[in-house]
Amino acid sequence: MGRVGVLLLNLGGPDELRDVRPFLYNLFSDPEIIRLPFSWLQSPLAWLISTLRAKKSQENYRQIGGGSPLRRITEAQAQALQEHLQQNGKDARVYIGMRYWHPFTEEAIARIKRDGITDLVILPLYPQFSISTSGSSFRLLEKIWQEDPALNRINYTVIPSWYQQPGYLQAMAQLIAQELDQLPNPDSVHIFFSAHGVPVSYVTEAGDPYQKEIEDCTALIMQTLNRPNPHTLAYQSRVGPVEWLKPYTEDALQELGAQGIENLLVVPISFVSEHIETLQEVDMEYRHLAEEAGIGSFHRVPALNTHPMFIESLATLVVDSLDAPSRQFSEVIRPTKKVKMYPQERWEWGMTTAAEVWNGRLAMIGFLALVLELISGQGPLHFVGLL
């Protein structure tokens, strides 16, 4: 084997508040995040949503210190993994490729080429596969490979998902057990798994295995933990008007409060680093909701970050995949069909989802008409003297 490289894939996050809008623009420009029937709509819609969302999103990032810790943590994970591999006789270089912010995936590939890497393991830092996360990065990589024939010299292999990895499960179980044991009556604490959501249509229409992998992962963690605690799985971070995987975290918290649950331990499971959804959404927003619902004791398990057992499990994944038959992008990029952004519904009067959908559609048409008028200098607003 020649020069070995490991490419860690991640989503990326804004380093500073002024990065928030361009980061959101990159995110919403991705057809795997907003699946539209017409590709020409993607850029104007990304511009519109990023502009409308930037202020609120900036406020959330401000509450966690003015930016995402994702880059710093991912760099520490990469460093720890590289050291672990080298200490165990595997001379490998570890690179980071973010999907929507620096260091971008394209930058990582340029460095991999420059360093003359001949054998590359592509490892997403998402334990479970989703079209919107690992799938999106794999698709981008496939495009980069198609556009640069020099990359065909690299023997690469892709790890699509790895939530069954025993070291990962043990590290998660250990973190949960540690938190439980600091609480009074550990066995009576309700364990609340909060996974990042995706639109339902990803699963039902496009065949995203994400929900199944999240459910399996939750069951495996509970099995590894081997404690009698009751548990719930819910989905957080919904964006936009369509239906996402249920139960929504906010509804599940209400429900548990109504059932008289007083002690809750939240376990974030779709991500391995602290980021805005853990530090702001769970620690601030959901804590507040839980208190309002009567859940007096609200605790959260920290993200794995550079937990030694977790880093060891990543190293095992790398070493095992170098020995196994290689897996190509075409084998791991699932689905295919374009999914309608809005669900089809029967019309009802009132503030229904369908009404919100039509509000959105009309706003979109209005927005496109405005852009057209600004470009052409002609239209009804010019006619009445408003432009």
237 vs 297 by CB, closer to Fe ion:
237
What sign does the CA torsion over 352, 357, 362, 366 have? positive
* Radius of gyration for the chain, computed over Cα atoms and rounded to the nearest angstrom: 22
Strand ranges for 145-211 from DSSP E: 155-158, 190-196
Least distance to ligand L6N33NVT, CB of residue 326, Å: 25
Work out what residue 7 binds among Fe ion, ligand L6N33NVT, none; the CB cut-off runs from 5 to 8 Å by kind. Answer: none
Residues that bind ligand L6N33NVT (CB under 6 A): 11, 13, 27, 33, 53, 57, 68, 70, 126, 130, 132-133, 196, 198-199, 239, 270-271, 275-276
Residue among 188, 237, 305, 326 that touches Fe ion (CB under 5 A): 237
**Distance of alpha carbon 40 from alpha carbon 236, whole angstroms:** 30
Give 332's DSSP letter.
Answer: H
Q: Do residues 275 and 262 lie in contact, with contact meaning Cβ atoms separated by under 8 Å?
A: no
Q: Do residues 202 and 339 lie in contact, with contact meaning Cβ atoms separated by under 8 Å?
A: yes
Least distance to ligand L6N33NVT, CB of residue 294, Å: 27
| Block residue for tokens 């290689």 | 326
Phi, psi of 7 (to 5 degrees): -105, 110
- 324 CB-near residues (< 8 Å, 6+ apart): 157
Least distance to ligand L6N33NVT, CB of residue 238, Å: 8
28 vs 298 by CB, closer to ligand L6N33NVT:
28
Q: Do residues 44 and 371 lie in contact, with contact meaning Cβ atoms separated by under 8 Å?
A: yes
Least distance to ligand L6N33NVT, CB of residue 229, Å: 24
275 is in an annotated binding site: no
Work out what residue 129 binds among Fe ion, ligand L6N33NVT, none; the CB cut-off runs from 5 to 8 Å by kind. Answer: none
| Block residue for tokens 């009576």 | 188
129 vs 263 by CB, closer to ligand L6N33NVT:
129
Work out what residue 275 binds among ligand L6N33NVT, Fe ion, none; the CB cut-off runs from 5 to 8 Å by kind. Answer: ligand L6N33NVT
196 is in an annotated binding site: yes
Q: Give the annotated binding-site residues for Fe(2+).
A: 196, 277
- The residue ranges that bind Fe ion (CB under 5 A) are 237
